[in-house]
Amino acid sequence: MDQEISHYVRSIKVDIPPGVEDRIRKASTAHQPQVNLLGIRRSWLLAIIPGLAVILAAMILLVPALRRPMALPVPPISEIRTEFELVDKNIKIIFIQRPDFKLFKEE
């Protein structure tokens, strides 16, 4: 069956009229891609502009997220008073932490 089909395909020959071939060549050269001053096709320009917008938006959103947060200053400690009582031993313990207590500073 393949041989029969190939015989029929090879047996058909059609001559192209002389004016049609010229019109096809003229039509194919008439639709050349347009180039602007920078040598970039307009289709590429339409693809580059949104791509640059996406990259810019990603940078605006990701750069602050990747930065280290600034360390907050440690507020001074105010006076703290803590009391507790051991009733069965008749002991009362009082802790007083003064404001000048140096927790994070070395002397």
Asked if residue 44 belongs to a domain, the reply is: yes
Q: Examine the pLDDT at 17 and tell me if it is beyond 70.
A: yes
Has residue 83 been placed in a domain?
no
Residue 35: per-residue pLDDT:
55
Q: Is residue 75 part of a domain?
A: no
For 102, the token pair is 């140096």
Residue 58 lies in a domain: yes
**SS3 label, residue 106:** coil
Say if 34 falls within a structural domain: yes
More confident residue, 22 or 53: 53
Query: Which domain, by its residues, includes 59?
Result: 30-68
Per-residue pLDDT tens digits for 44-102 = 777 788 889 999 999 888 887 777 777 777 776 677 788 989 889 889 988 877 777 66
Question: Exposed, middle or buried: residue 77 (CB in 10 Å: 0-12, 13-18, 19+)?
Answer: middle
Residue whose C-alpha is closest to residue 95's, from 107, 77, 76: 77
- Structural domain contains residue 92: no
How many domains does the structure of the chain reveal?
Answer: 1
